[in-house]
Structure 1
Amino acid sequence: MKKALLFCSLVALGACSAAKDDGSSASRGNRTPVAHNTVVECALYDGMKKEATQLMTVASGMEVQVMDTVDTYFVKARVTNPAGEAQVGYMYRSCFSR
């Protein structure tokens, strides 16, 4: 009797965790950039360190495509520069409204 109860408990636990894994992995695979507008003038950097090079200045109100929320302080973003070329880099989260 104890073995049957233990077996049923393990099967139920496995079913719950399998269902959770299916749902979360499916939503991660279909990520697309999300458009946001900056609220202040910010810089687009080539990395997330103090020594990172500034790729361009993003003016207040420009549309930025946020590709990933990389870090507590940074997001990976794609911005179209005035020449019409897309630049990919990192921006501070504080550049956007919440």
Structure 2
Amino acid sequence: MYKYLLLLAVSALAGCSAAKDDAASGNRPNRAPVAHNTVVECTLYDGMKKESPQLMTVASGMEVQVMDTVDAYFVKARVTDPAGKTQVGYMYRNCFGQ
């Protein structure tokens, strides 16, 4: 009886650690940036605070490459200004439609 319970416990622990290893190994797909157009004029910030230095102002309708959804409020974005200079920074999510 004890051998059966011990075998069951070891099997359960092995299953849990295997699932944890898969998640920890970073098996997230490598996603390419996704193009979005802004719906309002927004600011590209150097950091994820409104007090962070402003890199540039992004006009309404401008194309932005969203590289990562960082948190509930910001996305990491790459923007090329009309002069051809590319900036990478953070923008508020509400700069884009749904």
Name the TM-score class by shorter chain: 0.7 to 0.9
For 1:31 and 1:64, locate their aligned partners in 2 and report how far apart those are by CA, in whole Å: 16
**Structure 1 residue runs of 4 or more that deviate by more than 4 Å after TM superposition:** none
Alignment of 1:72-87 (within 5 A): 72-87=72-87
Count of residues paired in the alignment = 97
- What's 2:36 paired with? 36
CA deviations over 1:36-68 (Å, ceiling 9, x no partner): 121111111111223212211111221111111
Q: Name the residue aligned to 2:66.
A: 66
CA RMSD of aligned residues (A): 2.2
Structure 1: unaligned runs, 5 residues or longer: none
> Percent identity at matched positions?
73
Give runs of aligned pairs for residues 1-98 of structure 1, distance below 5 A: 1-15=1-15, 17-19=17-19, 21-22=21-22, 25-28=26-29, 30-98=30-98
Unaligned ranges ≥5, structure 2? none
Higher helix share: 1
Query: TM-score w.r.t. structure 1 length?
Result: 0.78
